[in-house]
Amino acid sequence: MDDYEVCIHMRNVSTGTEMEGYLMKDVILAKFAEVFGDKEGAKAFFAPGRVNMIGEHTDYNGGHVFPCALTIGTYGVARKRDDNKLRFYSMNFEQLGVIESSLDDLKPYKEANWTNYPKGVMWAFEQKGMKIPCGMDLMLNGNIPNGSGLSSSASVEVLTGYILRDFFGFDVTNQDLALIGQFSENKFNGVNCGIMDQFAIAMGKEGHAIFLDTADLSYEYAPIKLENAKIVIACSNKKRGLGDSKYNERRSECETALAELQTVADIKSLGELTEEAFEAHKSAIKSDIRMKRAKHAVYENQRTVKAVEALKNNDVKLFGQLMNASHVSLRDDYEVTGIELDTLVEEAWKVDGVIGSRMTGAGFGGCTVSIVEDKAIDTFIDSVGKAYLQKIGYAADFYVVEIGDGPCVL
């Protein structure tokens, strides 16, 4: 790869705007008409992706998370049909063409590919007693890097739920849409994910992250005020599938550690423990590996609480230090980073003007999130990008992102 190609990869920067949404609406409606014959009765929608600033692998351990919705996400065009047929098309997987299914056959099939996500949500609505009266044509176009860990699957789930509510008047809140999306991913697609991704997407608020207690779904919006700095996401381009990663294994290790701790402590989740309480009771855990996993869950939860407090005090420097500590814990105690994410983060830490950097998402590939001073962004992208290419052998992509709202009709 020559220097020009490297430069193109490293400048792949997206700052979605409201204007971009309206431009995309025209593009996807035109494509819908091309694929499905016309656009009569079609309606356009958007659901964001998300990035988690801190609080990783805490959401299924009853802890706190701190995600925000992004201005990049999934665009959709949908139209009701007069039969039970479902026709799906993705501009991201054009080689797959139109994939057909039916409301009478809402089952996960490997050959159904990405359509198992919208089908799963339709199945979940019906499981919750909301009968879908007719089929639809649905076309999607996402500008979330596929497999990046920015929750393209959860974005599709929330978008589908939002469309179903809009079309059929189901009495569900945005928070309900998040829970239905999680239910569908757990029970239909077999990924034992927590609630964070769907919640952040369904409940997103421009300029704010969501401080969410996953134990009881209480939450507050916390403004992200980054004066003279921006959030930069680096995509490792190592593809990662949650269902076949070690995600479920980590969750199982934490559940076993919790059961062992419950023999000596009256707790319902690891998120209830302080660092001191964990250290006092950790000998009940009969495996060094499980002890490390539980330690991460407990300490990461406390880091998240401290990080939000730091933001409230306008202490972005401390927030960045806690991000760095989060990555170290994910690398050493939870062991979900890998050479790609470690390289991106460790190279980021070397750049003057980087306030904090860590992996984000489930790990095993995907992305890092960094807070970078405006004056250092070009240097950050250039130096981290070159070092990554040299060490890993292929390029990373970089996105300067903005915090956006939740799902909407375009």
User: What pLDDT does 14 receive?
Assistant: 41
Give the strands of the sheet with 64-65, arranged side by side. 64-65, 208-213, 218-223
**Helix, strand, coil percent values for the chain (each to nearest 5):** 50, 20, 30
Helices 174-187 and 116-127, axial angle in degrees (round to 10): 110
d(CA 331, CA 340): 12
Domain layout of the chain by residue ranges: 15-223, 229-401
- Residue with the two structure tokens 């359509």: 115
The CATH architecture to which 15-223 belongs is 2-Layer Sandwich (3.30)
Residue by residue, DSSP assigns 247-308 as: HHHHHHHHHHHHHHHTTTS--SSGGG--HHHHHHHGGG---HHHHHHHHHHHHHHHHHHHHH
CATH number for 229-401: choose from 3.60.20.10, 3.30.70.890, 3.40.1190.20, 2.40.128.20. Answer: 3.30.70.890
CA dihedral 362→368→371→373, nearest 10 degrees, is -170
Note the pLDDT of residue 245: 64
Cβ atoms of residues 264 and 281 within 8 Å: yes
Identify the pLDDT of residue 12.
39
What is the reported pLDDT for 191?
82
Neighbours of 37 (CB within 10 A): 9
For residue 240, the model assigns a pLDDT of 59
Mean pLDDT by 10 residues, the chain (410 residues): 32 45 85 94 95 93 94 95 96 94 93 93 97 97 74 91 97 97 93 87 95 93 90 86 69 96 96 97 97 98 96 93 98 95 98 97 89 97 97 94 93
- Asked whether the whole model's pTM tops 0.85, one would answer yes
Give the pLDDT score at 20. Answer: 62
Please state, in angstroms and rounded to a whole number, the distance separating the CA atoms of residues 384 and 388.
6
Q: Is-catalytic flag, 197?
A: yes
- Which is catalytic among the residues 38, 137, 176, 197? 197
